[in-house]
């Protein structure tokens, strides 16, 4: 059980939470929550007009709400905002979203009572995931619809997936032994004003990208051996002359992976001068992509525990203050998600070009489409087409969502981030890129086999063995889809990345 300190979150902790580790807030965070709730109680008792506590919302912010209707105000807020559409958000993303909401509330500036935090914690403890439609948020004023569905489930409205069984929320709560949550002043707004849905989706894409990137590094190194390519472009002195940190790391990884390869040693003094860019420029292209992923990770780690609701409460000895601002605007998350998409587009594009080189006898010197009986057998002709199709689809998704805005709420919310859309696109691109890498792993493994009895390096030999456990050497044409899908899943599961991690 991880004890969460909202002001000490790092990428490693978020990765562990993404994988499903149990967690709860620290005692210090709970104390901060209590202090913030007390501030709201004092504001309500004092009769001061404060947005979201005793006013309407959005364009209706000028409407003062009498104290006897404050609970009704919060309930109606949640019900009116529970209007998402589309497929349900994956359970692991919903779980991460709930954890992020706990982190944000745990900073003690949102004004919710401890009972609200306990209700969210109960969902985690019971593996009870609210069914949250994936569409309906534009990533400003918070992820209103997705977070409203989360909150509605706590109130006994909507649906909950209880350990894999989809139930009406009221029935799921009854099985959990919990009564529906009754919201107090500010609590509904605190729960739905925030970037936790966008950030959870973007983190899901980031950690998938981490695994895809690691697998692409390994596949690219194996492809170099399949081509009998040069390792000179990976000389650290070249990258040091440029100084880009991603390039330096990628060149070092490629050199390490190819170290000890008998295939490399066999053509040490061959007449080949230069390899195609997709082989030779891996440090430059992959390194630039790595720098983008690292930047996205830094942004998302900061956002993971940010206070992003509105208004934000500041309790002090000289009085309580509720300041209305715009931390709910998810522009940083939108940019980060779009950056992940662009980086992965290039990772997959480079991989597909290496596949194309290896199946082309004029470029590789290997049998056409890596089959010994060409004509009767098509070999790896069409898997390369599948990779090309995935790359083309990724390009169509690469236009940044973050530069596209549409006004909402009668013009009050006149610029929005589109962060959830950017995040969902990044997730799709990661899955597509994993498919491209799967094809490259098959192709590069087949190419290396043609150099027997010369063996690749120990590190790449381990990778080759993992590929062959899923996809045996091609002897004659066979049904490809199942093993390609299995390799794609292995890439997304981190089984082909060699333990590669961002932030190292």
Nearest to 161 by CA among 125, 199, 123: 123
Nearest to 158 by CA among 181, 141, 138: 181
Query: CA angle at residue 211 from 208 to 212, to 5 degrees?
Result: 85
Query: CA angle at residue 373 from 271 to 488, to 5 degrees?
Result: 80
Active site residue 51: yes
CA 45/CA 30 separation, integer angstroms:
23
Query: What is the dihedral angle through the alpha carbons of 124, 125, 129, 134, rounded to the nearest 10 degrees?
Result: 10
Q: What is the largest CA-CA distance in the chain?
A: 86
Q: What is the CA radius of gyration of the chain?
A: 26
Cβ–Cβ under 8 Å, residues 347 and 289: yes
- List beta partners, residue 24: 3
Those residues whose C-beta lies under 8 Å from the C-beta of residue 362, and which sit 6 or more positions away, are: none
- 197 CA to centre of own chain: 11
The active-site residue, picked from 51, 277, 450, 479, is: 51
Cβ–Cβ under 8 Å, residues 462 and 243: no
Q: Which pairs from 153-159 meet CB under 8 Å and 24+ separation? A: 153/123, 154/116, 154/119, 154/120, 154/123, 154/130, 154/180, 154/181, 155/75, 155/78, 155/180, 155/181, 155/182, 155/183, 156/180, 157/78, 157/79, 157/82, 158/82, 158/130, 158/131, 159/130, 159/131
Nearest to 280 by CA among 238, 240, 243, 246: 238
Helix (H) or strand (E) holding 71: helix 70-81
State the DSSP code for 108: S
Residue 454 sits at φ, ψ, to 5 deg, of -65, 135
Residues annotated catalytic, as ranges: 51
């Amino acid at each position: 059980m991880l004890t969460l300190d909202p002001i000490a979150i790092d990428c490693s902790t978020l990765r562990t939470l993404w994988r499903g580790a149990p967690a709860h807030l620290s005692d210090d965070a709970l104390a901060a929550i209590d202090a913030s709730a007390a501030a709201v109680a004092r504001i309500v008792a004092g009769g001061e007009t404060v947005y979201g506590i005793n006013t309407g919302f959005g364009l209706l912010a000028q409407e003062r709400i009498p104290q006897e209707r404050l609970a009704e105000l919060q309930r109606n807020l949640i019900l009116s905002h529970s209007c998402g559409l589309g497929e349900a958000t994956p359970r692991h993303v919903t779980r991460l979203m709930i954890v992020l909401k706990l982190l944000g509330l745990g900073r003690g500036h949102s004004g919710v009572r401890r009972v609200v935090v306990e209700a969210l914690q109960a969902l985690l403890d019971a593996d009870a995931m609210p069914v949250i439609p994936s569409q309906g948020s534009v990533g400003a004023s918070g992820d209103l619809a997705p977070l409203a569905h989360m909150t509605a489930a706590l109130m006994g409205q909507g649906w909950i997936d209880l350990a894999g069984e989809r139930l009406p929320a009221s029935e799921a709560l009854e099985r959990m032994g919990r009564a529906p949550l009754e919201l107090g002043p500010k609590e509904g707004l605190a729960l739905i004003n925030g970037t936790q849905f966008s950030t959870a989706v973007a983190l899901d894409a980031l950690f998938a990208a981490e695994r895809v990137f690691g697998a692409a590094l390994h596949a690219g190194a194996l492809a170099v051996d399949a081509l009998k390519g040069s390792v000179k472009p990976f000389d650290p002195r070249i990258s040091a002359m440029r100084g880009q940190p991603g390039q330096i790391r990628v060149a070092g990884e490629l050199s390490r992976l190819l170290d000890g390869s008998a295939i490399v040693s066999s053509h040490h003094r061959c007449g080949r001068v230069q390899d195609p860019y997709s082989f030779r420029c891996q440090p430059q292209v992959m390194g630039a992509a790595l720098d983008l992923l690292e930047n996205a990770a830094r942004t998302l780690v900061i956002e993971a525990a940010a206070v992003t609701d509105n208004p934000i409460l500041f309790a002090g000895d000289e009085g309580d203050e509720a300041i209305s601002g715009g931390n709910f605007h998810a522009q940083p998350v939108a940019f980060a998600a779009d950056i992940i998409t662009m980086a992965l587009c290039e990772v997959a594009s480079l991989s597909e070009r290496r596949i194309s080189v290896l199946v082309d006898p004029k470029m590789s010197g290997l049998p056409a489409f890596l089959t010994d009986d060409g004509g009767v057998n098509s070999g790896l002709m069409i898997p390369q087409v599948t990779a090309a199709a995935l790359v083309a689809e990724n390009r169509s998704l690469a236009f940044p969502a973050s530069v596209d805005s549409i006004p909402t709420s009668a013009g009050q919310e006149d610029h929005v981030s589109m962060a959830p859309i950017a995040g969902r696109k990044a997730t799709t691109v990661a899955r597509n890129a994993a498919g491209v890498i799967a094809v490259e792993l098959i192709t590069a493994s087949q190419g290396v086999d043609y150099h027997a009895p010369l063996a690749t390096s120990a590190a790449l030999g381990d990778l080759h063995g993992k590929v062959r456990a899923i996809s045996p050497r091609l002897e004659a044409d066979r049904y490809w889809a199942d093993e390609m899908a299995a390799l794609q899943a292995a890439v997304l599961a981190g089984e082909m990345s060699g333990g590669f991690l961002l932030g190292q």
